[in-house]
Structure 1
Amino acid sequence: MYLTENVLMETMDGDGAIHTERVLYINRSTDALVSIDLLKDKALPVWSKLSEVQAELDGGNKRLLQQDPWLATPRGDEQLSEAERSGRDRAWAAIESIVQAKPEMYERKARGLLITRALQEGRGTKPTIYTYLYRYWRGGQTVYALIPHFENSGSLGKKRTDSAASGPKRGRRSTVETLTGVVPGVNVDERTRGLLVKIGEEFYENKQGVTKKMAYEAGLAKYFHQGYEPLPDGTRVPVLPPPEKLPTFVQFNYWYSKAKNPDKALLKREGKRAYNLKHRGMRGESTSMAHGPGSLYQIDSTVGDVYLVSSRDPRLIIGRPVIYVVVDTFSRLVVGFTVGLEGPSWMGAVLAFEHVATDKVEYCRSLGIPITPDLWPAQHFPEAVIADRGELEGGNADALVTGFDVRVANTPPYRADWKAIVERRFRLVNDRIIHWLPGAVRRTVRGERDYRLDAALTLVQLRKVLTFCFLEHNQTAIIPNYPRDEDMKRSRVRANPLELWHWGLEHRTGRLRYFPPRTVRQGLLPRARATMTPRGLRYGQQYYTCEYIEARDWRSKARQNGTWRERIAFDPWSSGQIWLELKGHKDLIACQEIPGTSAGGGVPWFELELEYALDELYRRRDQGSRQQARVRFDVQIQQVMDEAKENVASTPSTESNAQRVRGIMGNRQVEKLIEREDRGPDMSKPATKVPAGGPERPATIPLFAPSVSAALNALEDEDWED
């Protein structure tokens, strides 16, 4: 594990006390490192010499920690309450300009000036801003660290509107109340809360140019007056009660903001164009230079020129894959890639970024490729990433920008040359590997064999082939025309991706940030809705469960009360596991596939979907033959029934209905004897047809067994003439 930004360092002093620090900033060119003590109240960033810290790590006095309990858990807006979103946005607005001033915010004097400017702009008090900053530094320098920890407070999620309006005033005592004894404002009950929200909807949302203050005053006049005062011209003026009997503007703003999404309200009020121009969040900016490893990554996708087959059934050709590659601009090191069937989309980019943060030693071990950490040392997020317009344009990039502090830049249309580095990697893949694979796309002439029929590789096998290709590139490639500066020439560093990477970590200011794979997965995995059924949590045609579900008897409740929907996260590469995302829970809850109820087996979701589609196709193809067979058998059965009815109708009975019913048992016994006599041991002989007029008593009866003799004796006693 490398010493990079965001990692934890643990030190034990001579007294046995343990100090845990988070690395906030590294500048290798100036031999500087900034860290903060996580176990000390009101701690501030501390500057150290990078070389000294590295020496302590090498000597064993310090160690890097893999687990990070202080790191803020990524949580989307769907998991947050209105109060949590409001608290996060308020904290971010207070410190945004400060944390963007790196590394100045780590220096005492410069930080003081930045905080003074924030105070002058009314973003909060000095203690409040420092509280937000410490939460930001302590939680991993992401916006998730600013989410309020309401789970540690009482009455989670309960609205305090139930107490009587005549009861004591809730909330902190104001200065007016402290000095004068007059209590301004009232307790907000359900009726008052509904009116405050209605005021915002009526007077603020749909009227441009009206401020919240103006909407509040107009709403008081309409909904909280005590009557009217007539003017000389007959106009009626609403009469308001004393101010201490009215809800305050702060209460109006709080309850309206709690009930409404501020972004949606602004969008409705201003319109999409004005909102995008003046109000939407900034999602990153373009950067043209890479100062070291991790300063700038480039990502792009292409459709591979090879046809693949299904891993479940090699007879099924599944088409051409979509390949994503992520390259470090400074070193040209391939830091991550993915191969799938998802078209160029946010989903594919998510999987590529998940691989960027994956430990490559563990990844290669899962493919049966043993490597050492120095052969593929990339498992970090960058400072910025540049991409095509599409995957990382618009709201899709919010998970990277807000969750992992990665700046995003998109190239203009038709300007692939702006990220020629990653484009060159695709040429490498095609020229070196793909064009020689079975099923590769090639030019054909009429009469030649269709190259698609030669497809043999699965997605997993192609992924393994590309892993070998990128390992070879990182270790052996020499970048032509690489712009080496004087420092590189003096160090005699070759223009090889691995050598440039390791040299850049020692001599240049890279911005690599480490996040645990669990955090990356939780922040980037796609979301969906699953159905809780009596058989388990169903997503697609697969069923899942976990200890949380079993402990609460969800399957029994679904059988008794009906099904319901739950929000989940899923891994497109594996159907063996999904994650339950519950409101109020920080972490995702892993749910495993239930054996025997489904046949996923951990294969990628797109292969399962292909199987489902093929099963439906075969079912529809067979439906016609099944219907035809059913019609044929129905006709044959009807013929038998018609023949039986005709036979009965052509042989009228001379007995009464009562006689016919009383003779059932005797007729049955005679029929059994006739069947045995006619067929004997040869059951293939047809039975003797009963003559018209009913069954006759046989003249001679063979004695098959004592039971048969007893039956005959019983028949002799019956009155056949009755």
Structure 2
Amino acid sequence: MALLRNDLFHNESGTRYRLLHVTPETDEAWIINVTDEATWPRKCSYAALLDDMDKQKSALVASTGQRSVSEYTDAAKNRRKETWNIIDPLLASSAIFDPKLRGPLVSARAEATGASKTTINKYLRDYWRGGQTQDALIPDFLNIGLNQPQATNARGRRPSDSRYEIYQMHRSVDDEHVIAAVKEHFLNGEVPTLQDAFREMLKEHYSYQDGNGASYVKPSGERPSYRQFYTVVKRCFSLETILRRKKGNKDFERDHDQRIGSALYEAIGVGYIYEIDATIADVFLVAQADRAKIIGKPTLYLIYDRYSRLCAGFYVGLEHPGWETAVQAILSLAEDKAALCHKYGVPYDPRDWPADRIFPQKFLGDCGEMISRNSNRICDGMESTISNAPPLSPQNKGTVECGFRLIHASIAAATPGYEPPSNVMRRRGKHYDSDACLTLDEFTAIILRAIIAHNRREMKKYALDPRAALRGVSPIPREVWEDNVVYSAGVISRYNEDYLRLQLLPRDKATVTDQGVLFKGCFYSCADLEKKGWFVSAANRGRFDVDVSYDRRLVDSIVVHDPQDARKSYSCGLTTTSESYRGYSYAEVKYVQTTVKRILQDGEDNALQEKINLKKFISDIAEPAHAAMKQATRGKSRSSRKADIAADREAEKRARRQSNATSPSSPRPPVGADRLPDNVVPMPDRSATVAVAAPQPPVKVGETQVRPLSIQEKLRLKKQEMLSDITK
């Protein structure tokens, strides 16, 4: 292997040499040791060098050792030019390599230029060691002052009044103090500042105590200044390290990280990735029944295609963000767009909805509703993938996040009740809610029209594919979709709204009873299930479970799946038993039923006490009656007691009739034990017409009519008589 001029090679010990000059005719070669900064060229045999290369005693170095090409400052270029003008005449002849001839040549050049021989010798060594190019003479400004392992050698900014000497920083001691103070007192939270860490460092390492034990910081000149402290911080800690430690990795990646790449890096084509997210719209709404009542801000869901930036679906509602609300946005992908536009009074153009009923390969959401277990329905029924961005990382779904900002920016100026986000946390902010006048349907119409305008609008900074640009495609969302959809036809699918609704609604178990399908405290039925005899079977053969699909927001209806035929399902409504819950959500029904249960639990003690009181009351009546019966039936058999049951019953009835009958002309007795309740109609007094009725004795003037005894009073007297007999 041949050696050429300026080649670097090393020997077995690892020492590097550079070949400076070769004279093949005389077998002379001049080399220089580039490892030693104070060395000079020496002569050797060129054949010996080649022989060492063949015997692998020497080997070429892959790098030439020359400086990398870069832009230099004007000062460096001027220094290079001055240095080159000094040594250029010396390099014209190979005599400069000979140590016997080099000295006189350098001395003569020093006298001619005014530069010292030491300076000229340094320039020559730099030229030879650096690759014998003019760039080798560029001064190494960047490394000046870096190779000082101990102290700063009296460098630094001096005080204008010379109050103190400059403190000399030592890397082995002072830098360690600075690094330890920054780690312990600055990077441990978002609140501490560098000034706090600087003061803590002075208190811990650069202070002294007087005779009384009081601690004082050393004066200037005997301790590092803040500028010296800050210089070490910049050298030892990168800005990214500081921000990550102060803000946290998630906040850094969201607010401070570099933005390299494009949102299209993962999107193969249109329909491959749909980004879905929710936000609280910045507009106050009013109630539809009474515009004087403000109902707050609605929830806005948007679904964007990442590749084309097309808004494919949306939902505006008063529910909080969640899976049930997200389902409504997903269902809008297959909703009849003509009927939707007609409902809200928006002009319909089928070109505005090129993604109608098209489902993507992947849904990208955050760790909210899309991490729900129910989202597996998308993976099972539509063969799509659910991907969840890490928490606090909106940059991972920047298309839909930017879509919220664009939608709000397009409607802000003309929409009454719009509140800028900056006003939400502003102290004594403006009351934009006083301008609220739009209902939910009116605001939905505005959002619908804004989405259509977005799908028609040209995107100035969109990275249009070169092939699409050559085909004359404009960077408009709907045109990008129409152009690229032919290339994505093999990865996207189309579904109708009914299938999506059955597939996306959550499923659970319900019980078929004789009163209907019992689900979460409500009973449901339909004509088809009644004809199939499910409820009769449940009443006679026992209850059984079935699968149902339901919407948590409304209990009015459910979808019952036939356990015998998976292709059949039945839409069932509330029965008359649960009709009172119509219009409620399942959460509200659960709350009502829990409240009723709690009320019943609160009344258990009272009900128990009433049962005890009733039993005591019955015992007070039954015990003396039983004793009286024993006394009256002493010596009589059971059959003799029932022998004249018909005559005895008739006599008792006649006596009761006579004792309870009241004359219409008689004054109404006061409220008491003998007065009938208001809801009981008394029988008329028929004593004048009944032949068997005994004539009543006339009442003399001044005498009081005796009231007949009630059954309670008679029993009480009977009990007293029995007690008297027992006493006797």
TM-score bin, normalised by smaller chain: 0.3 to 0.5
User: Normalised by the size of structure 2, how large is the TM-score?
Assistant: 0.43
* TM superposition score normalised by structure 1: 0.43
Q: Which has the higher contact order (CA 8 A, sep 6+)?
A: 1
| Bigger radius of gyration | 2
